Amino acid sequence: MSYEVSRVKKGENVKFKHPNPAFYKAIGKEDGIRKLMYDFYDIIYESDISHFFPQDEDEFQMVKEKNTKFFIQICGGPKVYEDETKGMNLDEYMIRLHDEFSITEKSRYEWLGCMEDALRKVDIPQELKDDFWAYLESFSKLTVNSFSDGSTYYAAYTASKES
């Protein structure tokens, strides 16, 4: 089932589970997540969705670091992203943070493709990568807000609680 992607259906109730903490341990905790996320952003930089991200090097560096902190926390590590969420639930905050960007299904595929390339370089059991992938594949549906018929739809957090 590795690296499969199913399509977004506008308005669907997306269920997702946070990654298994065994993934976090196997990858090498904070250092391992940092390496994965820095690789990921290097790949993003060369991709068709690079225009979504800051072109200024310092700003891009800040996104890399915040992204790393988020993934450390969501994967079961210390709560190093907590201060960013302004008291909001972490998942809800992350969905809402993407509202300001017009994210299509195509850009979601590209984003997932960059993550797949970065994950392929990680030498840990495939079933742990599959578990992490399952989180990314489902949660990323909630960031898609712009559809091919020209309409927009912003996923409600209440419709997507962790299963």
List contacts with ligand HEM (CB under 6 A).
49, 52-54, 63, 66-67, 70, 84, 94, 97-98, 101, 103, 107-108, 111, 136, 139-140, 143
- The nearest distance, CB 19 to ligand HEM, in angstroms, is 10
- Type of residue numbered 24: Y
Give the N- to C-terminal CA distance of the chain in Å, as an integer. 20
The residue (of 51 and 158) whose beta carbon lies closer to ligand HEM is 51
CB atoms near residue 115 (< 10 Å): 22
Q: What are phi and psi of 31, to 5 degrees?
A: -65, -40
Q: Nearer to ligand HEM by C-beta: 35 or 66?
A: 66
Least separation in angstroms between residue 22's CB and ligand HEM is: 19
DSSP letters, 71-87, are HHHHTTS--TTGGGGTT
Q: Between residues 22 and 84, which has the closer beta carbon with respect to ligand HEM?
A: 84
Torsion sign over Cα 4, 15, 86, 80: negative
CB of 39 to ligand HEM, least distance (A): 15
Q: 86 or 158, CB closer to ligand HEM?
A: 86
